């Protein structure tokens, strides 16, 4: 059985609120054109899952409305046919949206009667198998939705979750805040409320890279009560990273065990009910795609440039907030070295935020070198000897207290976005903690005008494309 969910960009949600919630007690309507992600198998519930991703909002203007009241709305279908035509051209799905001024989060008998006619119109226009989404927004800002699979009464399935990512990350699902939760998280609820615990228990969160920062992020997510965690890394534990890897033991290094399995076992041993899915592969490997696309949030804890560029695109194509982090220790030669910088960076990626390329965080040349090293190791070694590609020199300096503090910074940014403890302006898209100066900075970077990722919205919410993420290997 396929399950369904929707991600609605924060600016799209704001446009819908403005159009639908006018405080006049009447119903209004709009359409949303959606891209999609077809997940063959969600690794946690082991079912197929389809994610719809908002790309464009089209309001139904008042002159098209034939009849509107507090409990009903009918409008000319001309605009619906226009929306269907636009959707067919871009392989999108149309969502029909209306508000319930009385606050009812359930679909009404009127909705049940009217919607099959619209689905029939969609199937007639765009072909058999065409799906239609239907969303309702209540006066107090709650969302509910369903997806029509066939043009006949009752042929619909609920949306499992509606996410609204932006400066904040709101999540809507039936019965939110009603789950009792584990006693282990009660003191957390005293600080932040029970709804946060409920949200965390439902979220699917990915951790890309399970080294010093990634292992710390994964442990913190588990101890916060995140219900579903996916781990991605293709590296094994060795003696040189034992001191920074949370959850690792000497025998893991001796047995050269994959980091993802070591971290997954450490989480399972906590007994907090977290379901962990480890994938031992480089993040660009097609093997990772189902788990990655199923995630609601992804933490980027890798230090490879190509992996970062991959996540950089993922955030915009799939509307999945990526919280990327990096530690940069600039130590000179000598012992002790003359420390010139000790910076921890946390960057949140997604529509309307500047991407990692435009912030100068990743190097395209280094990424190309890494891609060559993976695909053609011999050619890479030759080019490195000829000094045509940048090669890894000495290992980068790292200190466990700073990799771990960086993990805390990143996970606290997630809590802020879900719960808002820093207030409405408290989310920070790009924070650099100058550990050696004892201060935080928030450098601003604008998108480069030609950036294909963050300067224009064509790929935002596009979802599945060929090639994947528009990346040409």
For residue 6, the cross-strand partners are 52, 162
Locate 389 and state its tokens. 């590609």
Among 57, 203, 358, 411, which residue sits at the site for Zn ion (rule: CB under 5 A)?
358
Q: Toward Zn ion, which CB reaches closer, 71 or 397?
A: 71
Q: Is 298 in the site for Zn ion (CB under 5 A)?
A: no
Pairwise CA distance, residues 347 & 323, whole Å: 6
Q: Toward Zn ion, which CB reaches closer, 58 or 355?
A: 355
Pairwise CA distance, residues 317 & 197, whole Å: 28
- Please classify residue 443 by burial: count the beta carbons closer than 10 Å to its beta carbon, then call 0-12 exposed, 13-18 middle and 19+ buried: exposed
Among 355, 411, 414, 429, which residue sits at the site for Zn ion (rule: CB under 5 A)?
355
Query: N- to C-terminal Cα distance for the chain?
Result: 34
Smallest distance from Zn ion to CB 260, Å:
30
Q: Toward Zn ion, which CB reaches closer, 203 or 454?
A: 454
Stretch of 142-150, 203-211, 432-440, 453-461 lying at the interface with Zn ion (CB under 5 A) = 453-461
Q: Is 451 in the site for Zn ion (CB under 5 A)?
A: yes
Locate 139 and state its tokens. 């006066």
Which residue do the tokens 């190509």 mark?
306
Q: Toward Zn ion, which CB reaches closer, 30 or 454?
A: 454
Total interface residues for Zn ion by CB under 5 A: 9
Smallest distance from Zn ion to CB 276, Å:
32
- Segment 431-450, which members bind Zn ion (CB under 5 A)? 447
Smallest distance from Zn ion to CB 304, Å:
19
Stretch of 32-40, 154-162, 378-386, 452-460 lying at the interface with Zn ion (CB under 5 A) = 452-460
Q: Is 453 in the site for Zn ion (CB under 5 A)?
A: yes
For residue 35, the cross-strand partners are 53
Q: Prior bond to 248 cis, omega within 30? A: no
What's the alpha-carbon Rg for the chain, to the nearest Å?
24
SS3 labels along 415-444: HHHHHCCCCCCCCCCEEEEECCCCEEECCC
Pairwise CA distance, residues 241 & 211, whole Å: 8
Pairwise CA distance, residues 216 & 337, whole Å: 27
Q: Toward Zn ion, which CB reaches closer, 322 or 453?
A: 453
Which residue do the tokens 């009447």 mark?
26
Smallest distance from Zn ion to CB 107, Å:
6
- Segment 101-130, which members bind Zn ion (CB under 5 A)? 108, 111
For residue 36, the cross-strand partners are 52, 463
Locate 466 and state its tokens. 């060929």
Q: Toward Zn ion, which CB reaches closer, 177 or 443?
A: 443
Pattern 259-278, Zn ion, x by CB under 5 A: --------------------
Smallest distance from Zn ion to CB 357, Å:
5
Q: Toward Zn ion, which CB reaches closer, 169 or 454?
A: 454
Can you give the binding site for Zn ion, defined by CB under 5 A? 108, 111, 355, 357-358, 447, 451, 453-454
């Amino acid at each position: 059985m396929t399950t369904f969910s929707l991600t609605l960009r924060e600016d799209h949600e704001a446009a819908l609120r403005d159009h639908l919630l006018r405080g006049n007690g009447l119903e209004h309507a709009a359409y949303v054109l959606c891209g999609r992600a077809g997940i063959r198998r969600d690794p946690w519930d082991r079912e197929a899952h389809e994610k719809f991703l908002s790309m464009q909002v089209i309001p139904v203007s008042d002159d098209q409305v034939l009849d509107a009241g507090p409990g009903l709305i009918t409008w000319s279908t001309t605009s619906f046919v226009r929306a269907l035509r636009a959707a067919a051209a871009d392989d999108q799905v149309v969502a029909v949206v209306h508000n319930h001024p009385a606050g009812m989060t359930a679909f009404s008998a009127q909705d049940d009667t009217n919607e099959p006619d619209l689905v029939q119109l969609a199937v007639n226009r765009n072909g058999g198998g065409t799906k239609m989404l239907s969303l309702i927004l209540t006066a107090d800002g709650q969302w509910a939705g369903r997806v029509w699979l066939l043009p006949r009464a009752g042929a619909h399935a609920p949306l499992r979750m509606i996410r609204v990512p932006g400066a904040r990350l709101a999540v809507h699902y039936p019965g939110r805040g009603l789950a009792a939760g584990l006693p282990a998280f009660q003191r957390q609820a005293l600080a932040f409320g029970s709804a946060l615990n409920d949200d965390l228990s439902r979220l699917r969160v990915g951790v890309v890279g399970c080294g010093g920062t990634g292992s710390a992020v994964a442990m913190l997510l588990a101890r916060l009560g995140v219900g579903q965690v996916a781990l991605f890394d293709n590296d094994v534990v060795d003696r040189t990273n034992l001191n920074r890897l949370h959850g690792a033991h000497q025998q893991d290094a001796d047995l050269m065990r994959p980091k993802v399995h070591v971290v997954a076992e450490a989480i399972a041993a906590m007994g907090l009910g977290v379901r962990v899915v480890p994938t031992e592969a480089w993040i660009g490997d097609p093997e990772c795609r189902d788990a990655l696309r199923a995630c609601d949030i992804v933490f980027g804890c890798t230090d490879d440039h190509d992996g970062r560029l991959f996540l950089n695109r993922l955030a915009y194509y799939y509307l999945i907030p990526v919280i990327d982090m990096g530690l940069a220790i600039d130590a000179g030669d000598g012992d002790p070295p003359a420390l010139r910088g000790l910076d921890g960076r946390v960057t949140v990626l997604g529509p309307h935020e500047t991407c990692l390329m435009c912030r100068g965080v990743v190097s395209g040349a280094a990424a190309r070198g890494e891609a060559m090293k993976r695909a053609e190791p011999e050619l890479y070694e030759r080019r490195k000897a000829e000094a045509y590609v940048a090669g890894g020199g000495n290992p980068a300096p790292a200190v466990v207290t700073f990799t771990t503090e960086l993990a805390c910074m990143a996970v606290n940014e997630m809590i802020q976005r879900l719960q808002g403890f820093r207030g409405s302006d408290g989310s920070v898209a790009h924070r650099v903690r100058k550990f050696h100066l004892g201060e935080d900075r928030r450098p601003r970077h604008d998108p480069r005008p030609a950036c294909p990722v963050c300067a224009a919205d064509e790929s935002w919410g596009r979802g599945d494309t060929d090639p994947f993420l528009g990346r040409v290997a």
